[in-house]
Amino acid sequence: MNSAGSIEVAAACDVLAIAAHRDDVEQTCGGTLLRMASRGLRTAILDLTRGEAGTRGTAGDREREANEAARILGVGWRDALDLPDGAIENTLENRIKIVRVLRRLRPRVVILPYWQARHPDHSIVAALGYEACFLSGLARVEADAAPHRPFKIVYASLYADVRPSFVVDITAFIEQRHAALMAYRSQYTNQAAGSGLFVPEEEIRERTFAEARHYGLLAGVKYGEPFIQKEVGLVDDLTLIPVLSI
Ligand SMILES: [Zn+2]
């Protein structure tokens, strides 16, 4: 009970990653989710589509693969909404679907895709997710569930060519992150379907490790994942700010 007399709802997760497509999180912030889980934080993933428009594999294949990837990433909860793959829209109905999840899981931190992206679904989810986080804090919206607004929203910017606000050191988790991505066997194992469109399996490892190495180098570690935050950082002790200047 808090001072107002209402029952505190136990948080079901500390960090929730919201993504347009199954396998987005594995590419943009899987190492970060692994690192947070290793610190004892409860992590969760909400995919907004089920992958029915993909060139390879069925939505059923992707569900099985997403569950396997979630197990490898050590997340405590993963689910998918039913928004149309390739045609996600920022509507009130879709915002409310996300509000219901936010109020159930009550995350302190939400990870969203960066707002500028080649794939329109990714940029729309940045706005859709942000607005859902805002609405979730309003008592008059869906009044049957207690309001909850995340404390922090960060944007996973790996797909975008922008300078990150900060990098998470995923060096200890790079192999596990790769295993989570390769759990999507219907997408990434070599096959005839979509062979002109998809990167060969051998090259996926090289590309994803090279990207992680690039962001790691910016922060003085081996492998890293980049994030943007809109607000400024706050420093307590100048002598403890990480990342070497010269
Ligand atoms: Zn995607």
pLDDT tens-digit map of 168-185: 999 999 999 999 999 998
Return residues with CB closer than 5 A to ligand 1 (ion): 20-21, 24
Residue 246 lies in a domain: no
Question: Interhelix angle for 174-182 vs 201-219, to 10°?
Answer: 150
Give residues with Cβ within 8 angstroms of 52, minimum separation 6.
58, 59, 85
- Between 185 and 200, the more confident residue is 185
Residue 169 lies in a domain: yes
Residue 244 lies in a domain: no
Confidence of residue 189 (pLDDT cuts 50, 70, 90): confident
**Where does the chain have alpha helices with state H?**
24-28, 30-38, 59-73, 92-105, 120-136, 174-182, 185-188, 201-219
What is residue 219's predicted lDDT score, i.e. its pLDDT? Answer: 97
Residue 2 lies in a domain: no
Per-residue b or e along 39-57, where b marks 16 or more CB atoms closer than 10 Å to that residue's CB: eebbbbbbbbbbbeebebb
Residue 239 lies in a domain: no
CATH code for the domain of 204: 3.40.50.10320
CA of 20 to the centre of ligand 1 (A): 5
Q: Say what the pTM is.
A: 0.92
- Between 9 and 119, the more confident residue is 119
- The answer to whether the beta carbons of residues 52 and 59 sit under 8 Å apart is yes
CA of 24 to the centre of ligand 1 (A): 5
Question: Interhelix angle for 92-105 vs 120-136, to 10°?
Answer: 60
pLDDT over threshold 70, residue 5? no
CA of 121 to the centre of ligand 1 (A): 7
Q: What is the mean pLDDT of the chain?
A: 92
| 131-180 per-position pLDDT tens digit | 999 999 999 988 789 999 999 999 999 999 999 999 999 999 999 999 99
Domain enclosing residue 225, as ranges? 7-230
Contacts for 199-206 with beta carbons within 8 Å, 24 or more apart? 205/178
Residue 131 lies in a domain: yes
Across the strands, what pairs with 51?
A: none
Amino acid at 187: Q
pLDDT over threshold 70, residue 8? no
The count of structural domains within the chain is 1
196 dihedral zone (left: phi>0; alpha: psi -120 to 50; beta)? alpha
Residue 61 lies in a domain: yes
- Note the Cα 113 to chain centre separation in Å: 7
State the Cα–Cα distance between residues 209 and 226, nearest whole angstrom. 13
pLDDT over threshold 70, residue 47? yes
pLDDT over threshold 90, residue 13? yes
CA of 59 to the centre of ligand 1 (A): 14
CA of 122 to the centre of ligand 1 (A): 6
pLDDT over threshold 80, residue 192? no
What is residue 6's predicted lDDT score, i.e. its pLDDT? Answer: 41
- 118: its two tokens: 């080649």
What is residue 198's predicted lDDT score, i.e. its pLDDT? Answer: 72
CA of 7 to the centre of ligand 1 (A): 38
| 64-105 per-position pLDDT tens digit | 999 999 999 999 999 999 999 999 999 999 999 999 999 999
Residue 238 lies in a domain: no
